[in-house]
Amino acid sequence: IPPIDVNNQSRFDVYEILKYCVSRFDRNIFNRNIKAYKTANVCIEALKGNKVLCESAYEAELHNRLSYFLRDKGGKVTGKYHLVGGSKNKKKHQYVYLVIESPGYSVAIELAATLRKKDLVDHFSRALNYSKLLKSSEVWVVHFMAEDEAMKNLCWPNDKDLKKGLRVVHIYHNLDFEEVKTTAFWLIALIIIFLTITLNYRFWFKM
């Protein structure tokens, strides 16, 4: 089971937890007869217009797995976390897909499902806005994707968004969820020597 950060008992290793939870997804949600599907704008199994899971399906399953994992570890997860932005005269109600909370620490998670690059970039901006409103400790975009050869042409945040703390993980799977691959990317700044190091964490597994 993924450990709590040994240097901060309120902080979880989010990437390890995501890998753990995804590896335990119920494959029945990938039954293409269910209604939680959308039409993809990219090639899947050499075809355009194929059906893929929409964000709400991933949200429900990931929420379930996170809840089970966090229940005895001092944390909790909330789905459709309500935020209010905008001005005093015109408030704007927004909802984060998932928020993980433990004493003194919070993580905002924006979900995306098999998107083109230009659409995924919108989720990057949205996630940073949510993080600002929530004042979260970490902010993640989790992109589930079934596009052909998706891992060869990934979309990452620009330097500006990375420096704001945005963390991105791409999770590829085939339509039956029999093969899963994931890779993540974020920045860690070493202020003492005024150097920013980019770490690219990769994890591959087959189910």
**What domains can you pick out in the chain, each with its CATH number?**
14-206 (3.40.1350)
pTM: 0.84
pLDDT at 191: 34
Q: How high is the pLDDT of residue 198? A: 39
Per-residue pLDDT 10s for the chain (207 aa) are 454 453 454 578 899 899 999 999 988 887 766 667 888 888 888 778 788 889 999 999 999 999 999 988 888 999 988 777 655 556 677 889 999 999 889 999 999 999 989 999 999 999 999 999 999 999 999 999 988 888 888 899 998 998 899 999 999 988 888 888 888 888 865 432 223 333 444 444 444
pLDDT at 164: 93
Is the separation of the CB atoms in 170 and 150 below 8 Å? yes
Looking at residue 91, its pLDDT comes to: 67
Beta-strand relationship, 138-145 and 105-113: parallel
For the chain, what's the residue count? 207
C-alpha pair distances (Å), 142 with each of 62, 97, 145, 152: 11, 10, 10, 17
Kindly report the number of other CB atoms within 10 A of residue 121's CB atom.
16
